[in-house]
Structures are given as C-alpha cells and as structure tokens.
Amino acid sequence: MIRLALGTLRQHRGAYAGTFFAALLAVALLVGGGLLLASVLTAKPPANRFAAAPIVVAGDRDVTLEKVTTKQKKDKSKVKRKVKSERLTGAGSLPVDLAGRLGDLPGVAAAVADVAFPVQASTPDGRPLRGADGAPVIGHGWASAALTPYLLRGGAAPGRGEVVIDADLAQRSGSTVGGRLLVTTKTGVHTMVVSGVAAPAGRNGLPAQGALFVADGEVATVSGLPGPTAVAMLTRPGTDPVALRAAVGQVAGDHEVLTGADRVRADLPGALPDYIGPISIFGFVIGITAFAAVFVLTGTVTLGVRQRLRELALLRTAGATPGQLRRLLGVESLLLAGAAALPGAPLGVLFAHLVAARFQELGAVPAQFVVRTNVLVIVAAAAAGMVVTFVGARVAGRRAVRIAPTQALAETADAPTGGLAPRIAAAVTTTAGAVALLVFVPLDGPLGMGMSFVSSALLLCTVAALGPLLVRALTTPVSRLVGVGGPTGWLAGLVSRAEPRRVAAIAVPLVLMFAINATMLLNSALLGQLAQREQQDRTAAATAQVTAPGGLPLDTVERLVALDGVTGAAATLPTRAIVEQGGKPEDFASQGLLIAGTEAALDLDLRAGTLPGPGAFAASAYVAGQYGWRVGDDVQVWLADGHRVDLRLAGVYARARGFGDLVLPAELVAAHDPRGLVGTVGLRYRGDVPDRIAASWPGLRLAPTLAAAPANDAQNQQGAWELMVVISLGFTAIAVVNTFAIATAARRREFADLRLAGATTGQLHRLVDREAMITVAVGLLLGALVTAIVVGAFSAAQDGTVRVVVDAGTYAGMLGGVAALGLVAGAVPARVLLRRRGLPALGDRR
C-alpha cells in the first residue's frame, strides 16, 4: 500500500516537496525555539563566587508568601497551602552578629560576613569600569576575597580609602596599583586608590561580574548596607557536611542555608546573569514560531492531500477501503515529516545559535548564555512536527478518503464537501475565545502584548476555518475590480470565483503573514508612541533634566535641588517593588521620588490624591485598579532588598508608561535598593543655575529634555520584539511562497488546457498575475480586518482611543511588502512551470 503511494510520488512532486519543505521548516523552528527555551531554563550561573566556602547562609533573595485556605467538607476540613514567590532585585541583609555566632560552630574555620553591592566605578578621566561583555562591577569587603578565593597578584590588601580590583577590570580600564578610581554608590562618590590587583586561580576574573574590594572596616560606609548580604563558611578538613549543615540551620533560623550549586543564589541578584527576561522572550519566540509552524504546516498538508484526490479515487477503484486510505495518508505523512526532520533538526540548531547570537548583540540575553544542544528537545520537536503533519493529513483526509471510486474516472476529482457545521463550530469557538481575551484581559497590563498576539492567532484560526466561505464572499467584488479589462482579467475573475478553496489555501498564509506581524509591529509602535508622549508630558514642566552617567547619589541631589534659584525639582530613583494580592506577590517597575521647591517639575497626571510624602506612596491607575486600592488605603510593599513596609496610598496617577507603576519616597528606595541612585532630576530654575551646577559637579549632564531612552530594559525588549517580528516575517514569507508554489505546480494541466484553447504564454502569465492580485487583495483585506480588530481593541484599552493604522509608515510598509511578496510568489512558479515546455499538455495527459 505504502509502496503504491510512494510510487505516485513523482506525479505529485509539487505537493510532496511543498509538504516536505513546510515540515522541514516547522521542525527547524520548533527545534530552534525549543533549544533556546530549554537552554535558558537550564542556564547555569557561569561561576560561583563562593567556590571556596562549602556552606553559605543568605539573606532574603525573594518574597515568598504562603496562602492557606481551609475547606470545610462535612466533618473533614482540608487545608490547602499555596506558596508563591517573587524574586528580589536586591539582596536582603543578615544580622551583623550572625557571622560571629556561626564562626563558633565546630568544624567552621571561618565565617565570613560577605557583602555584595553594585558600584559604578570609573577612572579619573571618566572611563567607566565594566567587566567582560559589559558585566557589572560588584563591591565587597576584602574578607570576601577568601571565599572564591581571589589572590593578590600585585600590591597589597586595601586599607582605608583604597580598593583592590580584579585583574580583568585592571586590564580593561588600564588601572595599575597606585592609580585612582571614582567609586559611586548610593552613599556618594568616593575617590579611592588602587592598592592591589587580585584574581581567582587560573583566570583574570569571574565571568559576568567584576570584583572591587574595599577595606572591611569601610564596607558599611561605602555600601550603605546595614549588614552582610550573606555569611559564608570555610570549613575545617574532615568536617561532616550534613551535621554542619544542620548545626548552621539551627543558628541561622529562618535564613536560607545553601550548599553545592545552590550557593550562587547567595550572591547579589544583579551579579548573576538574569534569565527571567530571556525566558519570557524565548517563551514568546517559541509561542509565535510554534503557532506559525503548526498553522502553515496544517494548511500545506491539507492542500497537498486535496491535490491528490484523483490518486486517492484511483486507489479506491483499485479496491482500497477508506480505512486503508486513511492509514496510507497517515503513514505517508509520518514518513515525509520524519524525512524532513533529518535536515530540519540541524537547521534548527543553527537557527537557535543565530537567534541567540543576535539577541546577545541586542543585550536582551546575557552574554554568558550558551545554546546547549539537548537531544531530548530535538527529538520532542521532531516528534511534534511529525504529529502535526500526521494530524493535519488525517484531518484533511477525513472526507477525502471517502471519495467515490467513480471520481477517478471523472475529469476532476472532488472530495465530498463536508457539512459546514464543524467549520462554523470551530470558527465560533475561536472567535469567542478571541473576543473574550480582548474584552476581559486588561490589555493595558503586562499581559497585553502576549494576549493580543494570542487573540490575533485565534482570529487567524477563524479565518482558516471559514476560509472558503470568506474568500467566496470577498472574491466576487475583488475579482470584479481586478478583472476589469482584457480577456485575462475576465478569466482570472471567473477562475478565482470558481476555486474558492484554492484561493483560500493561498490567501490564508498571506492573512497570517500580515495579521501576525502587523499586530506585533503596530502594538509595539503604539506602546512606544504612548510611552514617548507620556514621557514628554511628564517632564514638560521641567526646564532641564539633569543626569549622570552612572546615576547620582541622593545626597548629591539634595544639595543640587537646594541651590539658590531652583524653584522646583523632581528626582527619580528607578527600582522595583513588590506588592501582594491573594497571596501572590508581583513585582513592578517603580520609582523613588524626591520633590523639592514650589513649582512642579514632574506631571504624573494625578487622577486622585496627591504625590506621596514620607510613609506614603502613589500607584498607577492600572495597578490601583487591578488591586482595588483607594486613596487612604494602607498597603504592604516589599522593597528591592525584601524589606517590608506599610505605606498609605496617597495618590493615583495616569502617566505610568516608561516610568513605573509605584511611586515611593526617595529615601526609602535609596535605603533599600542595592543601587539606590537617582536616575534623573527634573529642574525648574531661574538665573545661572546651570553654570553653578557645571561648576560644582562637572560630571553631570544638563539637557532641556530627556532623550527618548526611558530605560535600558525597555530598549532591550524593543530590540527583541523587532527580532521576533523578523523571524516571524521570514517564516510566514516562506510559507506564502511555498503555498503559491504547491498550488501552481498542480495547475500544469489547467494551463495546458488553456494553451490548447488558444491562450498564449503571455496571456497565461497575465492570467496568473491577475489571479495573484485577487488572492493578495483578498488576503490583505482579511489580514487588515484581523489586525484592525486586535489593534483597535489593544489601542482602546491603552487610552480609550481606537486606532487601526497607528503608524502609517509601518502599515503601508506591511501592506506593500506582503502584496509585493504575494505577487512575486504568484508570478514566479507559473513562469517556471510554463517555461519548461511550450505546450505542457500533450505529454502528460494523465
């Protein structure tokens, strides 16, 4: 049976090749996306700063909440515990005396109070110190050097006003022993002398973090931390690790005791490559690619099966039962997809490496990230590709296999058309899903982009399910328009109207290409525009914005805003804060805010209440709405180091884009954020304030407006987003070309008949071009419709304004690009097919 089917392979080269190609690309995308996600999920920290300390006690690194619900059932009561946690961006500190108590334990050679804090260091001529790949510089007390260990390569341990830096930093910045460095932390700018250069054994520094050691006596003054962020223990040889761990646990109480690979978690979160962002990025990548791959693959398989209806009918005449045909289609699709997986898998590995490299260039993924080739993922992705092909073939063949044997004798085989009911049921379900998402999910929240993508995917499924119906409705007016003039236009209109299924099969990938990519591009452009506008509106009142390359310590800002002539000031410290609802902690971009003077330098568009003073905070309208807060409510807020405070909601503001959802007192943020530096100061002044600022603080920049670069984070997201669109554009474009090629390859006979009826080759070219115009127009109309629904709803959710085009340039570019691709993809295969023979008909009558 299968040999029989493979025997006909030559006859249907087009359909087989198209399905094979689609399966190959689908497997490649699934493998690539799967590998990226798996690699990022299993990414290991590149190095352990506690390598020499077998056991470490850490302060809080996350906020963990337990929700206990008690269910009363007759006489039994059921207690359910749900633990949810959210990672901190800073590190909680430990009691100062803990190191001493741990040091007394038997088997402990030394308990080192480890302090880790981010520093901004630069050479006196202003060159910032960064590690390899822009890694941050982390400050420690000199005692911490023993934990890795860092050994002095030259110079001496730091004394008061001195630092030791790692050899990698020394090399990159050209610093030598005796040189000077400017070290900025939240406690201020410190001028320090390099007393020595140290390095871990065998290398110049640790990957992903540069190390700067200050004298142990000076750690508290430089870092501004109340205690150590971890206590690491060096043990005596022959100590029983299990017993020691138990003993340490007793002393440490609630604090976490870490051993083995877990010890890295005791490091400062900012010192480790952050894989949270990449996980969501790669999750999105695999979501988009998987959807597009499955969508395209099922469409291609369906088209391929439909083109072989005659062959299926012939097999039926030869005595095959529908069951046998079903099995035949199944086995054949598995073989095809299996064969496609062989080149698809290595292509996917290549794809993963290319994408990862590009994301690293954009800074969206840590430079230390490596793509690991995971055989399990590859096998799973290949299996997924095979399953999709298999299911697609079975679904496409479910009616085709019941084809009447007599159809083999008929001029064209036509599968029995199934009832409309399943199509309509599928369409209603997916449409309802899309509408529900658009209506009930707050699209102005963090889920907005993802959910608008999902709803556009659901609407695409609707279009696919209703394809022939929608196409039939649209083809008539469109083909009237396109079909004007000449016999070829007339014929193109007739042929398109007569073949709604073929038009639909080609139009649907065009709809996919336009809708998916236009939705992503327009929504992200909209967010960009809104953020930019809000940024302008927020800062419009200020005469100037003051920034420093690494950030400004709060006390500098306090002196700056107290300058004579400053009439108003607003200083913001970027941070993240966590709030809780229903036992689920969630973190939000936030700002610490310092207000000075009588004139407002920041306009947050307060909707209720006032800007927060001490003991109070303000929330964005979105968060206040989500959490049901009202002005005057007391709310628990966890700061970056896990410190919990109760703050009263003083105000609700609207302009949160590119800013943050919570506004907290600046002092509080400065005390509890490890960085704790002011990002920008908006100023209103009279007189020669700029000159005096330049005189007192030569490193500061004073500009009339803030350059439209809100946060580095957002920029990474934007770049990552664009790259995703590029990937998805590429794949959907290939799908469009592939579908056109398959559909055209099957028309050899039809073209031959037309040639016999007296059509010249030129007329056939024009016919195919006109048909492509009709198909492209139908596809773009449907694509624009899906896009308009999703983008309109997304836009309405943002600020109540329904926009469809958002960005005329992007929209026109998408329209023009998809149209051009569709027209070329329609024209080229037909020309190749027609060039091969003057009259293709006579050779292959059958």
Partner 1 sequence: MGRRVVRETRLDQAFPMGNSDGTPARGLVVEVLDVTKAYTGGGGVRALDGVSVGFEAGSFCAVMGPSGSGKSTLLHCAAGLDRPDSGRVLLAGQDIGGLREPRLTEARRQRVGFVFQSYNLMESLSVWHNILLPQRLAGVRPDQGWAREVIRRVGLTGREDDRPGRLSGGQRQRVALARALASRPEVIFADEPTGALDLSTGREVLGLLREAVDQTGTTIVMVTHDPAAAAWADRAVFLADGRIVAELADPTAEKVAAQMMAVTVR
Min dist. Cβ of residue 407 to partner 1 (A): 10
Shortest Cβ distance from residue 489 to partner 1 (Å)?
A: 11
Q: Is 766 one of the binding residues for partner 1 (CB under 8 A)? A: no
CA distance 381 to 108: 49
> Min. distance of Cβ 750 from partner 1 in angstroms?
7
837 counts as binding partner 1 under rule CB under 8 A: no
Q: In what order do the strands lie in the sheet with 55-58?
A: 108-114, 230-235, 55-58, 256-259
- One-letter amino acid for residue 546 of the chain: V
CB of 815 to partner 1, least distance (A): 28
Give the angle subtended at the CA of 140 by the CAs of 175 and 187, to the nearest 5°: 90
Could you say whether residue 752 binds partner 1 (CB under 8 A)? yes
Q: What share of the chain is helix, strand, coil (3-state, %, to 5)?
A: 55, 20, 25
DSSP-assigned beta bridge partners for residue 662: 590, 619
- Rounded-to-integer distance, Cα 403 and Cα 146, Å: 79
- CB-based burial of residue 640 (10 Å sphere; 0-12 exposed, 13-18 middle, 19+ buried)? buried
Peptide bond into 149 cis (omega under 30): yes
| Residue 465 beta carbon to partner 1: minimum distance, rounded to whole angstroms | 24
> Cβ 494 to partner 1, closest distance in Å?
6
**Which region among 1-9, 268-276, 483-491, 540-548 touches partner 1 (by CB under 8 A)?**
483-491
Q: Cβ 482 to partner 1, closest distance in Å? A: 16
When the beta carbons of 326 and 755 are compared against partner 1, the nearer one is 755
Give the single-character DSSP code of 73.
E
Distance, in Å, from the CA atom of 782 to the CA atom of 803, rounded to the nearest integer, reads 17
Question: Near partner 1 by CB under 8 A, which window of 145-153, 228-236, 475-483, 834-842?
Answer: 834-842
595 three-state secondary structure: strand
Q: Work out whether 237 is an interface residue with partner 1 (CB under 8 A).
A: no
What span, in angstroms and rounded, lies between the C-alpha atoms of 424 and 30? 30
478 is a contact residue toward partner 1 (CB under 8 A): no
Q: Contact region for partner 1 (CB under 8 A) — 23-31, 162-170, 482-490, 775-783?
A: 482-490
Q: What's the min distance (Å) between Cβ of 472 and partner 1?
A: 13
Q: Rule CB under 8 A: is residue 201 a binding residue for partner 1?
A: no
Q: Cβ 842 to partner 1, closest distance in Å?
A: 6
Quote the distance between the C-alpha of residue 390 and its chain's center: 30
User: Among residues 84, 402, 445, 490, which is the contact residue for partner 1, using CB under 8 A?
Assistant: 490
Q: From residue 694 to residue 733, what is the string marking binding to partner 1 with x (rule CB under 8 A)?
A: ----------------------------------------
For partner 1, give the closer residue by CB, 253 or 758: 758
* Of residues 403 and 454, the one with the C-beta less far from partner 1: 403
Which is nearer to partner 1, 89 or 479 (by Cβ)? 479
Among 134, 343, 487, 816, binds partner 1 (CB under 8 A): 487
Tokens of 447: 């889920």
Interface stretch with partner 1, choices 415-423, 737-745, 747-755, 818-826 (CB under 8 A): 747-755
Residue in 762, 802, 813, 816 binding partner 1, rule: CB under 8 A: 762
Q: Indicate the residue among 175 and 475 with the shorter CB distance to partner 1.
A: 475
- Taking CB under 8 A as the binding criterion, the range among 446-454, 520-528, 579-587, 757-765 that sits at the site for partner 1 is 757-765
The H-assigned helical ranges of 631-760 are: 666-672, 689-696, 712-745, 748-756
Residue 831's φ and ψ, nearest 5 degrees, are -70, -40
Which range touches partner 1 (CB under 8 A), out of 355-363, 484-492, 508-516, 642-650? 484-492
At 359 the three-state DSSP class reads helix
10 binds partner 1 (CB under 8 A): no
Q: How many residues bind partner 1 (CB under 8 A)?
A: 31
- Residue 842 in contact with partner 1, rule: CB under 8 A: yes
Rule CB under 8 A: is residue 11 a binding residue for partner 1? no
Residue 760 found at the interface with partner 1 (CB under 8 A):
yes
Residue 495 binding partner 1, by CB under 8 A: yes
Q: Site residues for partner 1, window 496-525 (CB under 8 A)?
A: 498-499
Which of 753, 812, 820, 824 binds partner 1 (CB under 8 A)? It is: 753
H-state helical runs in 47-137: 98-103
The one-letter code for the residue type at 410 is: A
The least CB distance from residue 368 to partner 1, in Å, is: 59
Does residue 755 bind partner 1 (CB under 8 A)? yes
Range in contact with partner 1 (rule: CB under 8 A) among 71-79, 375-383, 489-497, 799-807: 489-497
Closest to partner 1 by CB, 260 or 487: 487
Helix (H) or strand (E) holding 349: helix 322-362
Q: With left for phi above 0 and alpha for psi between -120 and 50, is residue 689 left, alpha or beta?
A: alpha
Q: How far is the CB of 17 from partner 1 (least distance, A)?
A: 24
Site for partner 1 contains 839 (CB under 8 A): yes
Q: Using the rule CB under 8 A, give the single segment among 378-386, 493-501, 569-577, 601-609 that binds partner 1.
A: 493-501
SS3 state at 495 = helix
Report in angstroms how near the CB of residue 484 gets to partner 1 at its nearest: 14
Instruction: Provide the minimum distance between the beta carbon of 838 and partner 1 in the complex, in angstroms, as a whole number.
Output: 7
Cβ at position 845, least distance to partner 1 in Å = 5
Pairing label, strands 616-620, 644-653: parallel
State the DSSP string of 571-583.
EEEEEEEEEEETT
Determine the Cα–Cα distance for residues 555 and 58; give it in Å rounded to an integer: 30
End-to-end CA gap in the chain: 21
Decide if 345 contacts 28 (C-beta within 8 A): yes
Which of 317-326's residues contact partners 24+ apart within 8 Å by CB, and which partners?
317/405, 317/406, 317/408, 317/409, 320/1, 322/401, 322/402, 323/401, 324/1, 325/397, 325/400, 325/401, 326/394, 326/397, 326/398, 326/401
- Closest CB to partner 1 among residues 558, 750: 750
Closest among 293, 445, 455 to 788, alpha carbons compared = 455
Does position 832 bind partner 1 by CB under 8 A? no
381 to 420: interface string for partner 1, x by CB under 8 A: -----------------------------xxx-x------
761 binds partner 1 (CB under 8 A): yes
Amino acid letter, residue 94: L
Query: How far, in Å, CA of 735 to CA of 355, rounded?
Result: 20
CB of 495 to partner 1, least distance (A): 5
Write down the least CB distance from residue 411 to partner 1, Å: 6
Which uninterrupted H or E stretch holds 234? Answer: strand 230-235
Widest distance between CA atoms in the chain: 102
Name the site residues for partner 1 (rule: CB under 8 A). Answer: 410-412, 414, 486-487, 490-491, 494-495, 498-499, 750, 752-763, 838-839, 841-842, 845-846
